[in-house]
Structure 1
Amino acid sequence: MADLHGSRSQLPLLQQHKEKHFTAGDIVRDIIIGVSDGLTVPFALAAGLSGANASSSIVLTAGIAEVAAGAISMGLGGYLAAKSEADQYKKELRREEEEIVLVPDTEAAEVGDILEQYGIEPHEYGPVVNSLRKNPQAWLHFMMRFELGLEKPEPKRAIQSALTIAISYILGGLVPLIPYMFFPKASEAVLASVALTLVALLVFGYAKGYFTGNKPFTSAVQTALIGAIASAAAYGMAKAIQPRQP
Structure 2
Amino acid sequence: MRLEHDHSREAIAARLADGPRVSYLRDWIYGGIDGAVTTFAIVAGSVGANLSARVILILGVANLLADGFSMAAANYSGTKAEHDDYRRLKAMEERHIDAEPDGEEEEIRQIFQAKGYRGPELEQLTSLITSRRKVWVETMLAEEHGVSGTLHDPARAALATFSAFVLCGAVPLVPFVAGLDASAPAAAIATGAVFFAIGSAKSIWSTQSWLRSGLETVMIGMGAAGLAWLAGYLLERIIT
TM bracket, shorter-chain basis: 0.7 to 0.9
Paired residue secondary structure (2:146): coil
Aligned residue type for 1:166: F
TM-score, normalized by length of structure 2?
Answer: 0.87
Shift of 1:211: 4.7
What are structure 2's unaligned runs of at least 5 residues? 1-6
User: Aligned pair in 2 of structure 1 residues 170, 176: CA closer, same or farther (>3 Å)?
Assistant: same
Aligned residue type for 1:238: G
Instruction: Find 2:55's aligned residue among 50, 55, 58.
Output: 58
Output the CA distance in 1 between the equivalents of 2:231 and 2:165: 25
1:190-233 per-position Cα deviation (integer Å, ceiling 9, x unaligned)? 11101111111112111111354422111111100011111111
Q: Does 1:41 align with 2:38?
A: yes
Task: Kindly name which structure, 1 or 2, has the bigger radius of gyration based on alpha carbons.
Answer: 1
Shift of 1:119: 1.1
1:77-97 per-position Cα deviation (integer Å, ceiling 9, x unaligned)? 000100111111111101100
Aligned residue type for 1:124: E
The answer on whether the counterparts of 1:30 and 1:161 sit within 8 Å (CA) in structure 2 is: yes
Paired residue secondary structure (2:50): coil
Instruction: Find 1:181's aligned residue among 173, 177, 184.
Output: 177
Paired residue secondary structure (1:242): helix
Aligned residue type for 2:121: E
Output the CA distance in 2 between the equivalents of 1:24 and 1:62: 39
Output the CA distance in 2 between the equivalents of 1:104 and 1:237: 62
- Equivalence map 1:18-167=2 (5 Å): 26-154=23-151, 157-167=153-163
Paired residue secondary structure (1:214): coil
Output the CA distance in 2 between the equivalents of 1:138 and 1:125: 16
**226-235 vs 121-130, which moves further:** 121-130
RMSD: 2.4
Output the CA distance in 2 between the equivalents of 1:177 and 1:192: 10
User: Aligned pair in 2 of structure 1 residues 204, 25: CA closer, same or farther (>3 Å)?
Assistant: farther
The answer on whether the counterparts of 2:22 and 2:150 sit within 8 Å (CA) in structure 1 is: no
Q: Does 1:237 align with 2:231?
A: yes
Paired residue secondary structure (2:148): coil
Shift of 1:140: 1.1
User: Aligned pair in 2 of structure 1 residues 14, 118: CA closer, same or farther (>3 Å)?
Assistant: farther
Output the CA distance in 2 between the equivalents of 1:202 and 1:153: 30
Aligned pairs, how many?
Answer: 230
1:21-69 per-position Cα deviation (integer Å, ceiling 9, x unaligned)? xx66751221121011011000000111111111112111210110000
**209-218 vs 164-173, which moves further:** 209-218
Output the CA distance in 1 between the equivalents of 2:104 and 2:190: 58
Shift of 1:18: 5.5
Shift of 1:123: 1.6
Shift of 1:16: 6.7
Shift of 1:182: 1.5
**106-115 vs 145-154, which moves further:** 145-154
User: Aligned pair in 2 of structure 1 residues 221, 184: CA closer, same or farther (>3 Å)?
Assistant: closer
